[in-house]
Structure 1
Amino acid sequence: MGIIDNLEAMRAKGQDSALMRYSLGNEYLKQEQTDQAIEHLAEATGQDPNYSAAWKLYGKALTQASRYAEAVEALNRGIEVAEAKGDAQAVKEMRVFLKRAQSALDASG
């Protein structure tokens, strides 16, 4: 049984949390199952709107899915959250992702 199977089994038993959803999203993204990753990362940010790592990964997943406008929105929100927490490294990383997503959005529009 793999990590995804274990996490999904725990979730099915009612053990749901932002961390679990983040973990599922991360594992699905590693498996290039972007739609599933986005679903879980959206839920993680919904359960804990101050989870800057979840916002970062959510923005990355949306960018990989070519959902650039949504990625820009998620990354901007993530930067706000990370700045409020003083998480300078997350801010720095999300600004890089944001620049890429914005460039892709501009090129596609």
Structure 2
Amino acid sequence: MTTAIIASLEKLLGGPRDGALLRYSLGNEWLKAGNPAQAADCFREAVKRDERYSAAWKLLGKALADSGQTDEALAAYEQGIQVANEKGDIQAAKEMAVFVRRLRKQADEGSPQDPSA
């Protein structure tokens, strides 16, 4: 099912509906499909199109963490926390702060785990 959804969403790229929400939705499907690197590209494009999209920052951090890019994930989460706080999206900021703490702890311990688990 995810593959069909990805194909449908990709057909919309470059068209009048191409925006942050489309890129976010596509990234989410790539995450479900087990391709965090491809998902990260989509989330990067989503936040490029809407820098205040805190949900996209959160999933960008997750996708980067899932693909082993810890430093980039931390940077994405930190930017996402700033954006979420500026928007008043307190829950998203709290969640990302938890993910940052988990990633830092994992880096200190040297264990590869999913910070959003």
**Fold match (TM-score > 0.5):** yes
Counterpart of 2:19 (choices 17, 20, 23) is 17
Contact 1:69 1:105 (C-alpha < 8 Å) held by counterparts: no
Q: Which residue of 2 aligns with 1:53?
A: 55
- For 2:66 and 2:72, the matched residues in 1 are separated by 11
Give the superposition deviation at 1:9: 0.6
What is the TM-score when the length of structure 1 is the normalising length?
0.91
What is the percent sequence identity of the aligned residues?
A: 47
Where does the alignment leave 5 or more consecutive residues of structure 1 unmatched?
none
Q: Which residue of the other structure, out of 67, 72, 75, is the alignment partner of 1:73? A: 75
Runs (4 or more) in structure 1 with deviation over 4 Å come to none
Residue 12 of structure 1 deviates from its aligned partner by 4.8
Query: Are 2:45 and 1:43 aligned?
Result: yes
Deviation digits for residues 49-106 of structure 1 (CA, Å, limit 9, x no counterpart): 1100000000011111111000110000000000001111101111111112222333
More deviation in 7-16 or 40-49? Answer: 7-16
Q: How many residues align?
A: 108
Q: Equivalent residue for 1:86?
A: 88
Which is richer in helix? 1
**Residue type of the alignment partner of 1:75:** Y
